[in-house]
Amino acid sequence: MATGIRDKVAIIGMGCTRFGERWDVGAEELMVEAYEECIADAGIAPREIGAAWMGTCFDEISVGKSALPMAITLRLPFIPVTRVENFCATGTEAFRGACYAVAAGAYDFCLALGVEKLKDTGYGGLPSFVGSNSGSLTWQWFPNMTAPGSFAQLASAYAAKYRIPDQDLKRAMAHVSAKSHANGVLNPKAHLRKAVTEEQVMAAPIIAHPLGLFDCCGVSDGAACAIVTTPEIARRMGKKDLVSVKSLQLALSNGEEMGYNDWDGEHFLTTSTASRKAYQEAGITNPREELSMMEVHDCFSITELVTMEDLHISARGQAIRDIMDGFFDRDGRIPCQVDGGLKCFGHPIGASGLRMLYEMYLQLHGRAGERQLDNPRYGLTHNLGGFPSMNICSIAIVGRHGE
């Protein structure tokens, strides 16, 4: 009988680069920057790493195929290194691989690193990736679609289902973005570090109605990294106040959203499913009461808004009320995007999942500086790769070991 991952793996080191338009460095330097912080934090020698996972989404741009770019750049000692890719869930996939390897007893120490170097394209958005490598039915299902367009449809469907006036939805989305910008001000590694008002967000040009410029995250260059081991080994190393993994869940669309009529386009079937399993694995019965903080996939403001319902924190149709009540603000009940989120910390696709875990790790160790929260217990991270109609959702929950 499977017992899940809860408390079987401890995170003993993490590192994260400053995200942004890193014209000054390549993917290799980004990997080194994250890795050096991480291995110094872990307090182990490189030769002790038993296996490694590398996450990058657009290997074609600036990184290269296979896991060799990481193995060579970090001079890893001829160990198994696996490259993973699962859209925006890529970083968490690398972390998942490392965690399961440790939990299985295959290795004492494993490394997970996510990296992306996208800004060299000179283009504000993502390169097109919905080719034949997304599956043979992809072209039939969405022959001509953009990310802002598809998430705008999510917003429209949500507003229609719950009869929300356009201005109310835009105001709530503006609050989501203004909150992340306010948090980004406090994060020296964030890409954007200036506050904006809700009025500025609402006044910005429309990208795909009702999503405006500030409702859409951009993409960045960056890398993030974690080293994991067992709690027993961590304790033998003298580590105290261990941060351990409580849950790792992943749910992928199976075509049900696009192929049948039951889904009305206003929420994520994957997130709803993965979060239920994640809470069960972590032993959480009431996430609204038990979670201390979250980093969710705010690729668009509406994604964050809807995700609060799919995470079963806000009731269906009630996320707007929670958002406007400040429930997810830094001084609210469950602070969300404390590090600035995708919108302000930035979004180097393959690194984002590990970047989210980095913030949870810092918060749980009381090392988050100006944005430190008061005594957090459980932190949840959420990635959503793809589109509302076909996506990959990963959820991780971390917390203090044994609690």
* List of residues contacting other proteins (CB under 8 A): 21, 122-125, 167, 181, 191-192, 194-197, 199-200, 202-205, 213-214, 216, 218
8 A C-beta contact, residue 95 and residue 226? yes
Distance CA 347, CA 147 (A): 14
User: Catalytic site residue 347?
Assistant: yes
The residue (of 199 and 256) whose beta carbon lies closer to other proteins is: 199
Question: Which segments of 244-316 does DSSP mark as H helices, in order?
Answer: 256-259, 269-282, 287-290, 301-310
Q: Which among 88, 99, 110, 393 is annotated as catalytic?
A: 88
The angle formed by the CA atoms of residues 350, 94 and 234, to the nearest 5 degrees, is 130
The residue (of 20 and 385) whose beta carbon lies closer to other proteins is: 20
The angle formed by the CA atoms of residues 223, 227 and 232, to the nearest 5 degrees, is 165
Distance CA 343, CA 8 (A): 32
User: Catalytic site residue 175?
Assistant: no
Strand, coil or helix: 391: strand
Query: Which helix (H) or strand (E) segment is 103 a member of?
Result: helix 90-103
CB of 102 to other proteins, least distance (A): 37
Q: Which among 181, 191, 347, 365 is annotated as catalytic?
A: 347
User: What would the DSSP string read from start to end of 37-61?
Assistant: HHHHHHT--GGG--EEEEE-S-TTT
56: its two tokens: 């990058």
281: its two tokens: 């694995």
The residue (of 71 and 192) whose beta carbon lies closer to other proteins is: 192
CB of 166 to other proteins, least distance (A): 9
Question: Which segments of 185-228 does DSSP mark as H helices, in order?
Answer: 198-203
CB of 128 to other proteins, least distance (A): 13
Distance CA 340, CA 368 (A): 12
Q: Which of 362, 136, 149 is nearest to 354 (CA)?
A: 362
Distance CA 123, CA 135 (A): 25
CB of 149 to other proteins, least distance (A): 16
Distance CA 29, CA 102 (A): 27
The interaxial angle of helices 147-162 and 301-310, nearest 10 deg, is: 50
The residue (of 65 and 194) whose beta carbon lies closer to other proteins is: 194
The residue (of 151 and 378) whose beta carbon lies closer to other proteins is: 151
Query: Which helix (H) or strand (E) segment is 111 a member of?
Result: strand 110-117
CB of 192 to other proteins, least distance (A): 6
CB of 385 to other proteins, least distance (A): 20
The residue (of 211 and 306) whose beta carbon lies closer to other proteins is: 211
Distance CA 211, CA 190 (A): 23
The residue (of 178 and 243) whose beta carbon lies closer to other proteins is: 178
The residue (of 19 and 361) whose beta carbon lies closer to other proteins is: 19
Q: Which of 40, 14, 56 is nearest to 221 (CA)?
A: 56
Distance CA 164, CA 397 (A): 32
> Residue 238, Cβ neighbours under 10 Å: how many?
7
CB of 218 to other proteins, least distance (A): 4
Active-site residues, by number, are 88, 347
